[in-house]
Amino acid sequence: MSWGLDAGRMLRLDWMLVVIGAWLLIGLAGVLALRRFTFVARVLFPLGGALGVALLVLALPSVFAPPQVAVLPVGLPTLPFHLRLDGLAAFFLMVIGGVAAGVSVFAAGYFRRAEGTPPGLLCLEYHLFLAAMTLVVLADDAYSFMVMWETMALSSYFLVTANHRVAEVRRAGYVYIVMAHIGAVAILLCFGVLQADTGDYTFANMRAQDLSPFWGSVAFLLALLGFGAKAGLLPVHVWLPEAHPAAPSPVSALMSAVMLKTAVYGVLRVAFDLLHTHAWWWGGLLLALGLATALFGVVFAAVQVDMKRLLAYSSIENIGLVFAGMGLALIFSAYGMKPLAALALTATLYHVASHAVFKSLLFLSTGCVLHATAERSLGKLGGLIRYMPFVAWVTLVGVLTSAGLPPLAGFVSEWLLLQSFLFTPELPDSLLNMLVPVVAALIALVAALAGYTMVKFFGVIFLGQPREEKLAQAHDAGAWERLGMLWLALGCVALGLLPVQFIQFIDPVTRQLVGAGLGQRLAADGGWLLAPSSVERASYGPVIFLLGVAASFALAFLVVRKLYHGRIRRAPAWDCGHPWQTARMQDTAEGFGQPIRQIFEPFFVMRRELPTPFDAQPRYRVVVEDHFWRWIYLPLVALATRLARLASLLQQGRISVYLLYSFVTLVLMLLVVRR
């Protein structure tokens, strides 16, 4: 192993490689204990969670440290692995480590015997997935990046298809792996453009190249296609609502919270680090795609009746917001407005972290509900707060964070993003300035619909009356599951109450990428009041807000106690004149989403399944589908099928025909060589 720096400065990168190696050893131990469920679940997965905490602790100070590089003597003889730990990589390692810690501890209590893949093999795939994501972030050349990117894709594919006996799961895995490889080809072509025909595929060489505007734009568009396919950006989003419901809930949590962020990391690395010149239309394209993706995702989330598909579309919405923030940062950077680019990039990175904690928490919650009820359909749930109080209250933290309510993490990131858009009138381009009201309105609409969707998610699952008799047998989460969920819930609260302190960690990243930051000025303002531009223009104090809410509740409690002296009158709740309320009388998931279906009907392909007069139990059902399947993917499948049938004509099964093919090929080659 040859290091680019002295041993003292390489200490953190050394220990990060130790964490990665330990994850791989845990995976190998799982293979050796292939069917020893108790050992795998109660020992190996908690060890993996402890290593996630170690990665988080190592990454925190690395954000502020100078870049560290290393060359590992693995791979091909002339293509070793180059690694680099800088502020951008360290930030995403913080996200990976923090989420992996909570999800791994939860997984120790989640996985059950005889659920598809043997537990030891699942342990190998899981920890290989974590190690590959970490090395993707640390990679400093195209070769190591692509090897780790493909390892991440393949390991996650096997995790998605863990319950491979189900045909729907196999189909979801196939869609996912096809989209992953389409994206990988685009990324590989992007790196080919970035190395500028030098033959050197290290990122250091790519940074040294000065590409023309045309080739820079080609590299950017290829990166957008490749990483957008992994992130779930329109129109290459179709794998996400298929793979997330099929995967086990801890895997869904990792994929949505962390794996999608490696694609965000890739766009940031290419657009802000490897490419030196920025065109304003790059940012405009990112902004338009991001807003379209966000609106598409939240509208589809609002009408879902499967709780995991709802969260999958919600992830598409949040990825759209992240890409919109990156687009705005690129626009500001193209016009040399560095402080505003830093503000937009800070909002983007903050939303990356906040989405990682609240979305992983919500996916883990669905896992608890799924194990307790064996139901994924919202139409068959309800009233679970009576039987699963811990899961319900912890889920409420994630729901409020996802809805963007203060004083939790989701509000801070979305508020910063809105503040970034409020500065767009300072842009010198009149066309962009004219679009500001439309953009602001779309952001507000997405935020409102996200709140609506989360009300549906929590209300239909946990409130009201149980819609099925078997729900009375539901049980609350176990100790390991509670510990993992509590870790992520504390992350939602901490990121919401300490925004100024967290922005201090983001500040070195924005300085690295756009040459400016917010951290020093925020610290000068006192450390507790968040003011992106000035206190007079806009400010937010999360602790003050929380104290105000707590004081209001305390005052209301004291007033009620003083006026009524603790008297309580118990009576049945008002039943709207219907004394025999049943679960069939409460709003369903379909009914909750019906206004959205009617308002945004052009977004959907709707199939209505009507009952017949002879049905024993007549039911009316509406199936909502995606236009992009019919516009893009089904025609491509039909074309591929036709081409395959034409190619099959060559396969005659006769040796004489194959010899004829060889003879014709040889004659053609001789003619070409003679010329």
pLDDT, tens only, 405-427: 888 998 998 888 888 887 766 67
Q: Is pLDDT of 10 > 60?
A: no
pLDDT band at 600 (very low <50, low <70, confident <90, very high): confident
pLDDT band at 616 (very low <50, low <70, confident <90, very high): low
Q: Which amino acid is at 631?
A: W
Q: At what angle do helices 499-514 and 307-334 cross, to 10 degrees?
A: 50
**pLDDT for res 611:** 65
pLDDT band at 156 (very low <50, low <70, confident <90, very high): very high
**pLDDT for res 286:** 93
**pLDDT for res 605:** 78
Instruction: Specify the higher pLDDT residue, 588 or 320.
Output: 320
**pLDDT for res 527:** 60
Q: Name which of 137, 136, 221, 138 is nearest 187 in CA terms.
A: 221
Q: Which amino acid is at 160?
A: V
Radius of gyration (C-alpha) of the chain in whole angstroms: 27
Q: Name which of 383, 255, 387, 266 is nearest 308 in CA terms.
A: 255
In Å, how far from its chain's centre is CA 311?
10
**pLDDT for res 620:** 64
Q: Name which of 332, 339, 348, 193 is nearest 275 in CA terms.
A: 193
User: What are the pLDDT digits (tens) for 52-77?
Assistant: 999 999 999 999 989 999 888 887 77
- Between CA 45 and CA 38 the distance in angstroms is 10
Quick one: tokens of 477?
A: 């989460």
Give Dmax over CA atoms of the chain in angstroms. Answer: 107
Q: Is pLDDT of 523 > 70?
A: no
385-389, 601-605, 619-623, 668-672: least confident range? 619-623
Q: For 374, left (φ over 0), alpha (ψ -120 to 50), or beta?
A: left
Instruction: Give Cβ neighbours of residue 294 (< 8 Å, ≥ 6 apart).
Output: 316, 317, 318, 319, 320, 321, 324, 442, 443, 446
Q: What is the DSSP letter of 482?
A: H
pLDDT band at 537 (very low <50, low <70, confident <90, very high): low
Q: Is pLDDT of 114 > 70?
A: no
**pLDDT for res 134:** 96
pLDDT band at 325 (very low <50, low <70, confident <90, very high): very high
pLDDT band at 579 (very low <50, low <70, confident <90, very high): low
**pLDDT for res 433:** 75
Q: With contact defined as beta carbons under 8 Å apart, do 380 and 467 qualify?
A: yes
Q: How many CB atoms lie within 10 A of CB 98?
A: 25
pLDDT band at 6 (very low <50, low <70, confident <90, very high): very low
**pLDDT for res 5:** 42
Q: Is pLDDT of 588 > 90?
A: no
User: What are the pLDDT digits (tens) for 447-461?
Assistant: 999 999 999 999 999
Q: Is pLDDT of 1 > 50?
A: no
Name the burial class of residue 47, with classes exposed (0-12), middle (13-18) and buried (19+) by CB atoms within 10 angstroms of its CB.
middle
Q: What is the DSSP letter of 602?
A: G
Annotated domain spans of the chain: 600-611+619-674
What number of residues does the chain have?
A: 675
- Mean pLDDT value across the chain: 86
**pLDDT for res 254:** 94
Q: Name which of 135, 90, 102 is nearest 505 in CA terms.
A: 90
**pLDDT for res 590:** 78
Q: Phi and psi of 198, rounded to 5°?
A: -95, -15
**pLDDT for res 4:** 41
Q: Is pLDDT of 551 > 60?
A: yes
257-261, 301-305, 576-580, 653-657: least confident range? 576-580
Q: What is the DSSP letter of 629?
A: I
Distance between start and end Cα atoms, the chain: 50
Q: With contact defined as beta carbons under 8 Å apart, do 253 and 364 qualify?
A: yes
Q: With contact defined as beta carbons under 8 Å apart, do 319 and 233 qualify?
A: yes
Q: What is the DSSP letter of 139?
A: B
pLDDT band at 9 (very low <50, low <70, confident <90, very high): very low
Q: What share of the chain has pLDDT > 90, as a percent?
A: 45
Mean pLDDT within 286-311: 92
- Between CA 315 and CA 471 the distance in angstroms is 28
Q: For 75, left (φ over 0), alpha (ψ -120 to 50), or beta?
A: left
The whole-model pTM stands at: 0.91
Q: How does DSSP assign 22-72, residue by residue?
A: HHHHHHHHHHHTTT-HHHIIIIIHHHHHHHHHHHHHHHHHHTTSPPEEEEE
User: What are the residues facing 623 on neighbouring strands?
Assistant: 607
Quick one: tokens of 129?
A: 């997935």
**pLDDT for res 441:** 84
pLDDT band at 2 (very low <50, low <70, confident <90, very high): very low
Report the relative pairing of strands 68-76 and 79-85 from DSSP bridges. Answer: antiparallel
**pLDDT for res 192:** 92
Q: With contact defined as beta carbons under 8 Å apart, do 233 and 292 qualify?
A: no
Q: What is the DSSP letter of 604?
A: E
